[in-house]
Amino acid sequence: MIKPNKLKPGDKVATISLSWGGAGELPLRYEAGKNQLQETFDLEVVETRHALKRNDWIYRNPKARADDLMEALADPSIKAIISNIGGEESIRTLPYVDLEVIRNHPKLFLGFSDSTVTHFCFYKAGVTSFYSTSMLVGFAENGGMHDYQIQDIKDSLFSSAPVGVIPENKAGWTSERLEWDNPQNQSILRKLEPATGWRYLQGRGKVTGDLLGGCLEVLEFLKDTPMWVKPEDWTGKIMFIETSEEMMHPELFRRIIRNYAASRILHNINGLIVGRPYHNKHKDEYDNILLQVIRDEEGLTDLPIVAGMDFGHTCPVFTIPYGARAEIDSDAKQFSLLESGVV
């Protein structure tokens, strides 16, 4: 994998709307995120050409969204590209994405949820990208960014040293919904739920593997597109998955996990890490389904599974670099990044 250059204070970063046009619909929320990103990390934040268009325009113009990405990559003054928000529209940009542009201009790309589509474009191009937060979520966090999120961004994107052991977030997490279109809510801290620790469902000893995965619903969008990867390409990987704010019904979760079993992907990977569900909804059902399918139905009793981790659709999150080497230590109950995603 080609690794992009790390960030440094004073760098110019560009925001982009590849899916839902939320930044154009919610300018006060966007400005809060922009200001907090600039002030916290001493970065210059600019917008790609169409980043602040209203959502109806963004919807009608998937090529323009992809063009924004290509232009930002080709612009030597821009050092990173940050997704404004997810949605369900990134899949329509695929016909207009040029993998050669990504490969020839490797830069930091940051986002989660529907950004999984763009991450797989980077992965296909052989460039490391970063499953993390987005402008309208973590960077625009009500009342200021979480300390856990700030430290994670510094460790992941501003340093080329391996992050090492990822700390569990002990301060508490949130997915409380405070409407973004109410300016008064921006200064209200969201309620934190107590941290109960990551759940090591099965596994012994240490396993290592390169990281690959994303939002479970969006991975379903990608299947059988040119950006999807064959079952054998998952060999030796540590797979990461998380579910969206739609709070997928457990029966659908079971069907998708069984699909990964039937395709032999679960047989090929070295480990599985799972993000905390939105509102922690269905967490016990999801855990039981993972064990039912992986342990009981497929007999993969040694495959490490770690659930309830601090990534995905709750806040704050740690950053996952695609293609970087990671380690699950089931005995010590630790998850580590053995290499950095940047140089």
What CATH number is attached to the domain comprising 94?
Answer: 3.40.50.10740
CA distance 306 to 280: 15
The pLDDT value given to residue 204: 95
Q: What are phi and psi of 129, to 5 degrees?
A: -125, 180
CATH assignment at residue 201: 3.50.30.60
Domain boundary among 133, 163, 193: 163
Q: Which domain range does residue 23 map to?
A: 12-163
Question: Of 163, 191, 225, at which residue does a domain stop?
Answer: 163
Pairwise CA distance, residues 116 & 93, whole Å? 12
CA neighbor of 145 nearest in space, from 38, 249, 278: 38
Per-residue model confidence as pLDDT tens digits over 8-52? 999 999 999 999 999 999 999 999 999 999 999 999 999 999 999
pLDDT of residue 238: 98
* CA distance linking residue 299 with residue 313, whole number of Å: 30
User: Hey, which residues does 247 pair with through a beta bridge?
Assistant: none
Identify whether residues 148 and 197 lie together within a single domain. no
Domain end (from 163, 191, 215): 163
Q: What is the pLDDT of residue 67?
A: 98
* Residue-by-residue pLDDT tens, the chain, 343 positions: 999 999 999 999 999 999 999 999 999 999 999 999 999 999 999 999 999 999 999 999 999 999 999 999 999 999 999 999 999 999 999 999 999 999 999 999 999 999 999 999 999 999 999 999 999 999 999 999 999 999 999 999 999 999 999 999 999 999 999 999 999 999 999 999 999 999 999 999 999 999 999 999 999 999 999 999 999 999 999 999 999 999 999 999 999 999 999 999 999 999 999 999 999 999 999 999 999 999 999 999 999 999 999 999 999 999 999 999 999 999 999 999 999 999 9
- pLDDT for residue 283: 98
Closest CA relative to residue 119, chosen from 245, 14, 215:
215
Q: Is 10 left (phi over 0), alpha (psi -120 to 50) or beta?
A: left
Measure the CA dihedral 269/271/275/276, to 10°.
130
Q: Do residues 215 and 88 both lie within one domain? A: no
Does 190 lie in the same domain as 329? yes
Q: What is the pTM of this model?
A: 0.97
Q: Is 141 left (phi over 0), alpha (psi -120 to 50) or beta?
A: beta
**Number of structural domains the chain divides into:** 2
Tokens describing residue 299: 């007999």
Same domain, 103 and 190: no
Q: Alpha carbon of 239 to those of 90, 135, 233, 253, 297: distances in Å?
A: 21, 25, 11, 16, 19
Give domain status of residue 29, yes or no. Answer: yes
Same domain, 111 and 253: no
Paired tokens of 94:
């695929």
Determine, yes or no, domain membership for 272. yes
Which of 271, 289, 209, 273 lies closest to 241, judged by CA?
Answer: 273
In the chain, which ranges are continuous DSSP H helix? 22-25, 27-41, 55-60, 62-74, 99-104, 116-125, 147-157, 216-222, 250-262, 265-268, 283-290
Rounded-to-integer distance, Cα 130 and Cα 144, Å: 22
Residue with tokens 């300390």: 147
Residues 220 and 323 in one domain: yes
DSSP-assigned letters across all residues of 272-300: EEEEPPGGGTTHHHHHHHHIIIIIIIT--
